[in-house]
Amino acid sequence: MKPLLIIQILFLLSTNPAHGQGSDWEKNVPGKLYPAPGCKIPRFKINDVFRIINEIPMIAKPKGFDVKEWFETSTIGNVYTAKLYLNFYEYYSFDGGPVQLSNSHPTTISIYINDPGQLMNPQSILFPQETKELNLPVMFTDTFTLRPIFIKDSEVLYGISTEFNSRVPLYVLKPKSAVFFKPVTKEQYIRFWIGKLSIDIDKANKQIEENKLNLVKMEKNTSVYTTLPEVKKAHEAFVKWTNFLKEQKQHYQRKLGQMTLDDKKAAAHYTMPTEDIAVMMNREGEYLEKISGHIPYEPAETNGIPVFTYIKDAFDSGLPKSAIQLMIIEDPYGEGETDELKELLDKQFFPILSFKEIFGLMYK
C-alpha cells in the first residue's frame, strides 16, 4: 500500500519547512499545475482520469502550492494496474521573510487502479515466508469495511485504511457485486498449519544436530566446562519442544482426517491464546518436564480471528485488460488530523471531483 504512511507523515511534519515552527503557508501565492505525461498504453484511460481531476478549480489554478502529477503502470497479469499521484508542494515563508516553495516530502493524493491489495492491511498478512515456501496463497486478517456514501450525484464506497493505525479515508469505485476477498476454509488453514509445523520441525531437527556437535566440543573445552550442565538442560528442553511440535502436527493430521465436508468448507479462524500457552519454562525459569498447551495462530474452533485470502479471478474476464474495474482514491490525511491544506481538500477537491465522469470511464 502506501509506503510507511505514518513514518512519512511524521517525517513530513518534522522536515518539510512548510510545516515547521515559525513558518506560514502562503496560501494566496499563484501556483502551477504540472500535468502528468500522457499514458501511451492503448485504451487504458489514465489520461482521461487526469483530465477529470484537472478540471477541479483548485487543481487547474492552484493557489498556495504547485501540483505535480505522475503515474506508474503495469501490464502484467489479468488486468492492467496503475498508481496515480498528485503531489502538492506548498509555498511558505518564515516570519514574514521571502516566499519559498517546498521541494521535498509533498502532501500526496494517491489513486490505485485495479489493485485490490489496497483494500486490506498488509501488516495483517500471516506468515508470508512460510506460505511462499509452501506455495500457498497470501492469507491476512484485516480487510477494510466499505459503506456507501453520496458525493454530488454519485454513490461512492467509503472505507478507512488501518495500516499503521493511520485511519486514512478511502474513496472506492467498483461494481457493487465485485468481491475481492474470501474466507480461508478450515481445511485450507489446517493444511497450512501442518505445513508450517513441518517447516518448524525441520529447522528444529537441524538445530538439534548442531547443538549435539557443540556439546561435544564443549565437553572437551575446560574453559566452558562449568556452563555445560545448563547448556545440556537447554538442549534437552529444546528437544522436548520439538517433540511437542511433532505431537501438534500429528494431532492436526488426525483432525483433518476426521473432519466432515461441511467442517472443511467452514470459514477458518486462528487463536491467540492468553491462557494455557505452550512454553518450555515456567514462571520461575525452570524447564518443564512436559510441554503442553496452545501455540499462537493455532487453528481455532470458534471465537477466533477470521482469515481471508484473495479471490483468484475477481475481475471480469469478459472486459479488456485495459478496463478500469476498481479505483481507490486515498486521502493524504488521516481522520482527525488538522491542517489547512486538509481543510482545503475536504472542501474543494473531494466534494468537487466528478465521480460520475470517472464511473463513465470504467468497465469498458
Structure confidence by residue, pLDDT tens digits, 200-248: 999 999 999 999 999 998 888 878 777 888 999 999 999 999 999 999 9
pLDDT at 6 > cutoff 70: no
Residue 172 shares a structural domain with residue 321: yes
Structural domain includes residue 299: yes
SS3 69: strand
Residue 267 shares a structural domain with residue 324: no
Structural domain includes residue 47: yes
Residue 117 shares a structural domain with residue 263: no
Residue 166 shares a structural domain with residue 66: yes
Residue 14 shares a structural domain with residue 121: yes
Distances (CA, A) of 47 to 27, 51, 148, 307: 28, 6, 27, 38
Record the cell numbers describing residue 350, joined without a space. Answer: 473531494
Structural domain includes residue 131: no
Residue 253 shares a structural domain with residue 223: yes
pLDDT band at 10 (very low <50, low <70, confident <90, very high): very low
Q: What pLDDT, on a 0 to 100 scale, did the predictor assign at position 13? A: 45
Structural domain includes residue 321: yes
Residue 119 shares a structural domain with residue 29: yes
Residue 319 shares a structural domain with residue 356: yes
Structural domain includes residue 290: yes
Determine the Cα–Cα distance for residues 316 and 319; give it in Å rounded to an integer: 6
Structural domain includes residue 45: yes
User: Which amino acid, one-letter code, is at 198?
Assistant: S
pLDDT above 90: percentage of residues in the chain: 84
* DSSP string for 348-364: HTTTTS-HHHHHHHS--
How many domains, the chain? 2
The model carries a pTM of: 0.86
Residue 20 shares a structural domain with residue 157: yes
- Which residues are within 8 A (CB) of 118 and not within 5 positions of it... i.e. 6 or more apart? 1, 112, 161, 170, 328, 330
Dihedral, 102, 107, 111, 117 alpha carbons, nearest 10: 120
Question: Where a domain ends, among 306, 331, 352?
Answer: 306
Residue 168 shares a structural domain with residue 220: no
Residue 150 shares a structural domain with residue 26: yes
pLDDT digits (tens, 9 = 90+) for 33-49: 999 999 999 999 999 99
* DSSP string for 280-317: SB-TTSPBPSS--SB-TTEEESSSSEE-EEE-TT-S-T
Contact of 168 with 333, CB cutoff 8 Å: yes
pLDDT band at 16 (very low <50, low <70, confident <90, very high): low
Q: State which residues form the domain around 300.
A: 186-306
When pLDDT is averaged across residues 323-348 and rounded to a whole number, the result is 96
pLDDT above 70: percentage of residues in the chain: 94
Structural domain includes residue 176: yes
Name the strand (E) or helix (H) holding 34. Answer: strand 33-34
Residue 88 shares a structural domain with residue 156: yes
Structural domain includes residue 130: no
